[in-house]
Structure 1
Amino acid sequence: MKIAFVGKGGSGKTTLSSLFIRHLVARQAPVIAVDADINQHLGTALGLPEETAAGLPALGARLPLIKEYLRGSNPRIASADAMIKTTPPGRGSRLLRVREDNAVYQACAQPVELDGGTAQLMVTGPFTESDLGVACYHSKTGAVELLLNHLVDGREEYVVVDMTAGADSFASGMFTRFDLTFLVAEPTRKGVSVYRQYRDYAREFDVGLKVIGNKVQAPDDIEFLRAEVGDDLLVTVGHSDWVRATEKGHPRPFAELAPADREALSVLHTAADASYARRDWDRNLRQMIHFHLRNAESWGNARTGTDLAAQIDPDFALHENQYGDSPHPAAAQPA
C-alpha cells in the first residue's frame, strides 16, 4: 500500500506518520518511509540523532542515478536526461519492489532500527540556500513521484510518505499515486480548511481520503470535526506523554505507547489494508499518463527537447506481481 500523510503545518502529520511507521514495523511489516516535506523531520521523529538525519542521502541529489536505473532498456526513453518526474514505466523499464535490494535503495535508503524491526528511510533533502529564488520544492519531490510511478507494491507491503504541508501536494500528480491519504486536522477552522481543499481535489481523481483528528482535548472537539468533515473522520487522538518524552530526547519503548493511541494506529492500519482492495492498476496508469502529458505540454517538451508523449507505451500494463526487465536477483520471481 502507498500511504500519504498530509495536513497544514504544525498539525502533527510527521509525528503521526512516524508513529504509523513504528506500528507497522512492530508488526513485522516491510516499510519504506519517505520524507517529502520541505521541513525534514521524519528521521528525527523516528529516533535518528539530528546530525545523522541531516546527513541522509537526498533523493534530489541522486536523480541522475535514479533515472538511469529506472530507464533500464526501455526503447522509448533515449536517455536519462529525457526523463521527467512524471515519466511512466514501459516495457524495458526497471520496476521497484518494497522487498528487494537494488541500486536505488543502496544509494538512497537508510535502514532505521525501530522496536521490532527496520524501516528503509528515504528523504528528498532540505531546501538549501542554493535553491532560494531559483527553484521550488517540487523539483525535489519530483524524485519521489518518479519512484512511485515505478514502484510495484503488494499486499502487506507499505510505502509511507510524509508529504509537504498544506495544499502544495496538489502541485503535481503525485497525490494520485496513493491508495489512501491520511489528512491530519486539528479541531479548528484552519485545521479543516486544508481538508476542504484536499477533499475537492481528491474527489475529481477518486483519491481515497480519511481524516485523523489530532490534538483533540474534549468531546466538543470531536463534535466540531464530525460536523466539518463528516464520515471522512476516521479516528481522533489527543495528548501523548510518549510523544512528548520522545520529542524531549527521552524515547521510550514503543510498547509503552498508551493503549488508546495503539488502538488508533490499528484503525489506520485496517483502513490502509482495506484501501488496497480498491486499487485499480489500469486507472493508476491512466492517471500517470494524464499528468505526464500535462507536464510534457506545459514545460517538459521544451526543457528536454523531446516529444515526451512518445514515452507512453500503449501496450504496457501494471499489475501486482510484475517486474520490468530488471537484472537484479529479485526479478526472478515475486517476493
Structure 2
Amino acid sequence: MKIAFVGKGGSGKTTLSALFIRHLAAAGRPVIAVDADINQHLGPALGLTDAQAAELPSLGAHLPEIKEYLRGSNPLIRSAEEMIKTTPPGRGSRLLRIVEENPVYAACARPIALDEGSVRLLATGAFTEEDLGVACYHSKVGAVELLLNHLVDGPDEYVVTDMTAGSDSFASGLFTRFDVTFLVAEPTRKGVSVYRQYKDYARDFGVELRVIGNKVQGRDDLEFLHREVGEDLLTTFGHSDWVRRLEQGAEPPLRALEAGNRAVLEQLRSEADAAHDRRDAPRYTEQAVLFHLRNAESWANSKVGIDLATQVDHGFVLGGEQHATAGAH
C-alpha cells in the first residue's frame, strides 16, 4: 500500500503518520517510511535524536545513482541524464520492492528500531543554505515521485509518506501516487478550509481522500467536523497523554497508547488495505504518463534537449504481468 499523510502545519500530521508507522511495524508488517516534508520531522517522531536525523542520507543527493539504477536496460531511456522526476518505467526498467535489498536502499534507506518492530526510513533531505533562492520543495521530492513510479508493492506491505504541510502537496504529480491520502484536520475553520482546498485538487484525479479529525475534545468538535467534512470524515483521534509524553521527549512504549487511539490506527490500516484492493493499475500508470508529458512539454524537453514523450512505453502497466521481468536486477 502507498499511503500519504497531508494537512496544514501544526495539525498533527507528522505525529499521526509516525504513530501509524509504529502500529504497522508492531504488527510485523514490512514498512518503508518516507519523510517528504520540507521540515524533516518524521525521523525524530520515530525516535531519532536531532543529530541522528541530520545524518540521514538525502534522496536528492543520490538522485543520479537512483536514476541509473532504475533505468536498467529500458531501451527508451538512453542515459540517466535524460530521466526526470516523472520518467515512467517501461520494459527493461528496474522496479523496487518493499522487501528486498538493492543499491537504492543501501545508499538512501536507514533502518530504525522501534520499541515494537522496525522500519526503513527514506528522507528527501532538509533545505540547505545552497538551496535557498535556487531550489524549491518540488526539486527535493522529485526523487520520491520517481521511486513511487517504480515501486511494486503487495498486500500487507506499506510505504507511508509524510508529505509537506499545505497545498504544496498537490503542486506536482506526486499526490496521485498513493492508494489513499489521509488528511489530518483540526476541528477549526482553518482546518476544514485546508480540506476543501485538497478536495478540489483531488477530485479530478480520483484521489481517495480520507479525513482524520485530530485534537477532537468533545461533541461540538465532532459535530463540526461531520457538518463541514461529511462522508470524507473517516475517524477522529482524541486527546492523548501518550502523544504529549512523546512530544516532551519521552519514549513511551506503543502498548501504552490509549485503547481508543490504538483502535483508530487499526481503522486506518483497514482503510488502506481496502484502498489497495481498489487500485486501478492501468489508471495509475496512465496518470504517471500524463504528468510526465506535462512536465516534458512545460520545461523538461528544453532542459534535457530531447522529446521526452519518446520515453513512454505504451505497452507497460506498473503492477501488470510485465513487472516480474522488468524488475530483474
Distance 2:325 2:47 in 1: 35
Q: CA RMSD in A?
A: 1.0
Q: Is the 8 A contact 1:181 1:208 kept in 2?
A: yes
**Structural mapping, 1:1-335, within 5 Å:** 1-319=1-319, 322-328=323-329
One-letter code of the match for 2:195?
Answer: Y
What is the CA distance between 1:326 and its match in structure 2? Answer: 4.2
Q: Is the 8 A contact 1:95 1:323 kept in 2?
A: no
SS in 1 for 2:195: helix
Distance 2:112 2:324 in 1: 26
One-letter code of the match for 1:303?
Answer: K
Distance 2:10 2:116 in 1: 29
- How high is the TM-score relative to the length of structure 1? 0.96
Distance 2:268 2:320 in 1: 22
Distance 2:328 2:274 in 1: 33
Alignment deviations for residues 126-165 of structure 1 (CA, whole Å, 9 cap, x no partner): 1111111111110010000000000011111000000011
Alignment deviations for residues 293-316 of structure 1 (CA, whole Å, 9 cap, x no partner): 000000010111111000001121
SS in 2 for 1:274: helix
Distance 1:136 1:9 in 2: 18
Q: Is the 8 A contact 1:98 1:153 kept in 2?
A: yes
Q: Is the 8 A contact 1:152 1:320 kept in 2?
A: no
Q: Is the 8 A contact 1:180 1:272 kept in 2?
A: yes
Give 5+ residue unaligned stretches, structure 2: none
Q: Is the 8 A contact 1:96 1:152 kept in 2?
A: yes
What is the CA distance between 1:324 and its match in structure 2? Answer: 4.6
Give 5+ residue unaligned stretches, structure 1: 329-335
What is the CA distance between 1:115 and its match in structure 2? Answer: 2.6
Distance 2:148 2:191 in 1: 28
Q: Is the 8 A contact 2:7 2:165 kept in 1?
A: yes
- How high is the TM-score relative to the length of structure 2? 0.98
Distance 1:215 1:158 in 2: 26
Q: Is the 8 A contact 1:214 1:238 kept in 2?
A: yes
* Count of aligned residue pairs for this structure pair: 328
When structure 1 is superposed on structure 2, of 243-252 and 299-308 the one drifting more is 243-252
What is the CA distance between 1:325 and its match in structure 2? Answer: 4.0
Alignment deviations for residues 11-49 of structure 1 (CA, whole Å, 9 cap, x no partner): 000000000000000000000000000010000000011
Q: Is the 8 A contact 2:90 2:326 kept in 1?
A: no
One-letter code of the match for 1:149?
Answer: N
Distance 1:182 1:214 in 2: 12
Distance 1:165 1:203 in 2: 19
The 1:320–1:3 alpha-carbon spacing in structure 2 relative to 1, beyond 3 Å, is: farther
Q: Is the 8 A contact 2:111 2:118 kept in 1?
A: yes
What is the CA distance between 1:241 and its match in structure 2? Answer: 1.0
What is the CA distance between 1:327 and its match in structure 2? Answer: 4.6
Alignment deviations for residues 216-244 of structure 1 (CA, whole Å, 9 cap, x no partner): 11110010011000011011112211111
When structure 1 is superposed on structure 2, of 318-327 and 60-69 the one drifting more is 318-327
Q: Is the 8 A contact 1:149 1:288 kept in 2?
A: yes
Q: Is the 8 A contact 1:176 1:207 kept in 2?
A: yes
- The percentage of counterpart residues that share the same residue type is 68
